[in-house]
Chains A and B, each alone.
Chain A
Amino acid sequence: MIQIHGLHKSFGGKPVLSGVDLAVGQGESLCVIGQSGTGKSVLLKCILGLTTPEAGRILWRGSPLDQATRPDFLARFGMLFQGAALFDSLTVWQNVAFRLRQRMPDVQARAIAIEKLGRVGLGPETADLMPAELSGGMAKRAGLARAIADDPAVIFFDEPTTGLDPIRARRINGLIRGIVTETGATAITITHDMDSVRAIGDRVALLQDGRIAWEGPVPAMDRAAPLAGFLGNTPSL
């Protein structure tokens, strides 16, 4: 579904990505792990066209992702940002229903938004709050509701469980797994949380020093030497 070949990106002469190769198939759930600051978020931004890589190709359904094809891609796409990135000027339900409101009446969009908020464990009373009134973890879940609101075919989750308590985290992991199996969506999840990887991933890739240092199916990761550091003591932020 998405293929990445030889992606290079640096900021002010400091290389962040130096030759990333990665592929995700239709309906597959890929987890990307790696130390803080290795460029995981930057990798997502390159795919989205939010930053321009210096070199490398990104293919979507076999054709290069560029100015012409990106709108189609984005129309079928949802993303949870690391910091939730809710719009401050809109209420929670308006955030969740952002895309929906562009093509259906508010009453209908609001009903869907409240249903999606329910799925991430936020009650209808949160719908009319402003994002500034939410706690960090609540904002994260509202961001998750926005990412899945329009039933996207491709979803990126940037650290979906960071900042959540273990019970919520487990519930969110279950939700992401559920979405992938139910809707056949393709998911790329960035995480530091090995429990998340086990719960939602089909495959894992380790990003290290600007490259994919290891890649394989989730069950194989216990025997993979490069991942030893991650498995031993789950690094926390």
Chain B
Amino acid sequence: MNPVRLTGRAALLMTRGIGAVTLFTLRGLFRLRPFYRRAFAAQLVQIGWLSLPVVGLTALFTGAALALQIHSGGARFQASDVVPAIVAIGMVRELGPVLGGLMVAARVASSIAAEIGTMKVTEQIDALVTLSTDPMRWLVTPRLWAAMLTVPVLVGVGDIIGIMGGWLVGTQSLGFNSTAYLANTSAYLERWDVVSGLLKGVVFGLIVAVCGCWFGIHSGRGAAGVGRATKSAVVAAAVGILAANFVLTGLFFE
């Protein structure tokens, strides 16, 4: 086939795909009546509370490793005392949201896609329709809002734990004074550093939930279909987060 036509077709397919996902997202976000409160509360627990351990551990080790890196890297130009500031800025602006988002993608996008996909192949979604309940409102809306609200909170908690990880390494093995370390952190950290990271969290949460719901609802038939849906949801969420992070970082800091 001729390359121009091939490119054209690919572009068309992609545009159509983006349009469909956008429409799906808007429907999921704004079909609020009736709002299923019980389903929403369950998702706050599932997506937010139960992700805390994994996000916390990720942040702890990342902050600790970052402190070691900056210390040894900074030594090359006699700047190892910037450790507290760099750890804080690096965590809060970039690593907290991105790594937290990726961990949530692995944990939540997969489980949403698998759950909704299984519901689809076992006709539970059809059953919802026969019980006069819109699957969008019952399944998708609570998940989108729960993820958008809890992921920034997870990012915030991760920021604090990550900074603490850096502080632990800094004071226990790099010879920093505890009060000086914390004072240095708060002196260099600006409000926008934190807020921008939390905003990233909102967007990443939305990406994770949309990917999980979209691939779940469009799951193929049978166990193989659900397996494919789960895999696609995680891959799409992870790539989506990294791409969105690039765009948002450009928007926020350029």
**Overall SS of chain B's interface:** helix
Taken together as a complex, chains A and B put the C-alpha atoms of A50 and B131 apart, in Å, by 12
A85 touches B126 (CB 8 A): yes
Beta-carbon contact of B123 and A83 below 8 Å: yes
> Once the chains are docked, how many angstroms separate the CA of A74 from the CA of B128?
11
A-B contact count (CB 8 A): 46
**Given the complex of chains A and B, what is the CA–CA distance between A172 and B103 in angstroms?**
49
Interface residues as binary, A40-75 with B (CB distance below 8 Å gives 1, 0 otherwise): 000001001110000000000000000000010011
Nearest CB of chain B from residue A148's CB, rounded to whole Å: 13
- With an 8 Å Cβ cutoff, the count of chain B residues facing the other chain is 16
Contact B126 A83 (CB under 8 A): no
- Taking a contact as CB atoms under 8 Å apart, the answer to whether A74 and B119 are in contact is no
Q: Are B132 and A79 in contact (CB under 8 A)?
A: no
B14: CB under 8 A from chain A?
no
Residue ID in chain B nearest A51 by CB atoms? B126
**Does B124 belong to the interface (CB within 8 Å)?**
yes
Q: Identify the closest chain B residue to A76 (Cβ).
A: B132
CA–CA, A75 and B130, complex, Å: 8
Report the interface size class on chain A.
20 to 34
**What A residues does B42 contact at CB under 8 A?**
89
- Give every chain B residue within 8 A of A45 (Cβ-Cβ): 126
- Complex Cα–Cα for A49 and B119 (A): 18
- Pair B131/A98 contact, Cβ less than 8 Å: yes
Query: Contact check: which of B124, B131, B133 meets A88 at CB < 8 Å?
Result: B124
Q: Which residues does chain B contribute within 8 Å of A82, judged by CB atoms?
A: 123
Is the CB–CB distance between B130 and A79 below 8 Å?
A: yes
Q: Are A87 and B124 in contact (CB under 8 A)?
A: yes
A99 at the interface (CB under 8 A from B): yes
Nearest CB in chain A to that of B124: its residue? A85
Q: Within the assembled complex, what's the spacing in Å between the Cα atoms of A98 and B127? A: 11
CA distance A86 to B128 in the complex (A): 10
Contact with B along A75-106 (1 / 0, CB 8 A): 10111011101111100000000110010000
Q: How far is the CA of A39 from the CA of B24 in the complex (A)?
A: 30
Verify B131–A81 contact, CB threshold 8 A. Answer: no
Instruction: Among A71, A75, A85, A102, point to the contact of B127 (Cβ < 8 A).
Output: A85
Given known pairs A88-B118, A88-B119, the reply for A75 and B132 (CB within 8 Å) is: yes
Q: Complex formed: what's the CA distance from A15 to B124 in Å?
A: 25
CA distance A83 to B126 in the complex (A): 12
Residue of B nearest to A94 (CB): B38
**Nearest 3 A-B pairs (CB), nearest first?**
A85-B127, A85-B123, A79-B130
Query: Measuring CB to CB, which residues of chain B are less than 8 angstroms from any residue of chain A?
Result: 34, 42, 115, 118-119, 122-124, 126-133
Provide a sorted-by-A list of 12 A–B residue pairs whose CB atoms are within 8 angstroms.
Answer: A48-B130, A49-B129, A50-B126, A74-B130, A81-B126, A83-B123, A87-B119, A88-B115, A88-B118, A88-B124, A99-B131, A146-B131
